[in-house]
């Protein structure tokens, strides 16, 4: 008589409170940040808004690393990695995004960024040899078709003096910058550094670059007097940047990166809802079909696991 096979461990259930609460919280917070950004570029140069956000977030992230007991001292190769990640993630990515939202609605930028998994897969294949299943490619193509339908609507609905093409190009630039940062930090040097410590140093380097970029492109500092701007900056810096990182990486540890990636769908739904309520985004058969295809494609792509 043969013995029964040992049960397979799949980790905590997605419906358990310790998984469901941070999962929904991170998706909701990140979904809301896209809309909050629109208030940060209303009458304030985008470059200075980015700088103010990370000027506030950087010391908070260093403090978080200390509280978590992470080492802060980095070697020369680790500092060089942090410099590269900082310029790509906390300068290029956010500068592109903030400028993109001057031309297209925040919800559309959020949907485009949900396709970050596509350049991630491409760069991971090129630089670290990861392979993806055919289901990932098929799902990604469906999602891209859905996003294309949303962009067609944006183009048709744009005012005569709008520049949707520039907004799309800037959003793509931000997505590529974020993707490069994601893949670069996955190299052996990056894996040897505690994630929060690496991000803290990267954010510091990015903030310094943001300051120089703002001075060169936008002139002297623009210091808004309204409390709404600074409340939004504090929300983006502390809630949208610092609080969500430990929640996100704890989810990765608890349920794996694949299932954690599904909160991109929550992020898109929240972002599009806020854009509809507060930015006057109008739904048509084209946008509804595009959004449905984008969400369906993302779900299909995320179900396919990457193979190293």
Cα angle 269, 265, 151 (rounded to 5 degrees) comes to 65
174's tokens: 């931000």
Q: Does 289 reside within a domain? A: yes
Q: Supply the range of the domain harboring residue 265.
A: 17-303
Question: What pLDDT is recorded for position 303?
Answer: 74
Q: Which of 145, 44, 51, 154 is nearest to 103 (CA)?
A: 154
Higher pLDDT, 183 or 229: 229
Q: What Cα–Cα distance (Å) separates residue 275 from each residue in 56, 80, 261?
A: 26, 38, 22
Distance between CA atoms of 264 and 301, rounded to whole angstroms?
Answer: 12
25's tokens: 């919280």
How many domains does the chain fold into?
A: 1
Question: What pLDDT is recorded for position 6?
Answer: 42
262's tokens: 């599904």
Q: Does 39 reside within a domain? A: yes
What angle, 0 to 180 degrees and rounded to 10, lies between the N-to-C axes of helices 106-113 and 263-278?
170
83's tokens: 């410099």
State pLDDT tens for residues 70-85. 999 999 999 999 999 9
Q: Does 2 reside within a domain? A: no
Q: Does 308 reside within a domain? A: no
| pTM of this prediction exceeds 0.85 | no
State pLDDT tens for residues 154-175. 777 765 456 888 999 999 999 9
């Amino acid at each position: 008589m043969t013995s029964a096979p040992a049960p397979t461990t799949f980790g905590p259930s997605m419906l358990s409170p310790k998984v469901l609460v941070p999962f929904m919280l991170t998706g909701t917070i990140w979904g809301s940040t896209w809309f909050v950004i629109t208030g940060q570029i209303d009458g304030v140069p985008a470059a200075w808004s980015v700088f103010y956000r990370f000027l506030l977030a950087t010391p908070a992230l260093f403090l978080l690393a200390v509280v978590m007991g992470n080492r802060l001292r980095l070697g020369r190769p680790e500092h060089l990695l942090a410099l590269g990640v900082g310029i790509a993630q906390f300068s290029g990515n956010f500068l592109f995004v903030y400028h993109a939202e001057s031309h297209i609605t925040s919800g559309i930028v959020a949907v485009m960024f949900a396709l970050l998994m596509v350049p991630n897969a491409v760069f991971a294949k090129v630089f670290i040899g990861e392979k993806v299943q055919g289901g990932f490619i098929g799902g990604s193509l469906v999602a891209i078709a859905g996003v294309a339908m949303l962009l067609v609507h944006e183009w048709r609905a744009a005012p005569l003096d709008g520049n949707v093409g520039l907004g799309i190009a800037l959003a793509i630039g931000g997505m590529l910058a974020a993707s490069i940062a994601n893949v670069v930090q996955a190299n052996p040097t990056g894996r040897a550094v505690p994630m929060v410590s690496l991000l803290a140093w990267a954010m510091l380097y990015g903030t310094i670059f943001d300051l120089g970029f703002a001075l060169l492109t936008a002139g002297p500092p623009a210091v808004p007097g309204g409390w709404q701007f600074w409340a939004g900056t504090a929300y983006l810096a502390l809630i949208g940047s610092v609080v969500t990182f430990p929640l996100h990486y704890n989810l990765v540890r608890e349920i794996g990166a694949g299932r954690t990636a599904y909160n991109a769908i929550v992020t898109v739904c929240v972002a599009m809802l806020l854009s509809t309520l507060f930015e006057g985004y109008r739904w048509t058969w084209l946008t509804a079909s595009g959004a449905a295809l984008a969400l369906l494609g993302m779900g299909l792509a995320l179900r396919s696991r990457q193979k190293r």
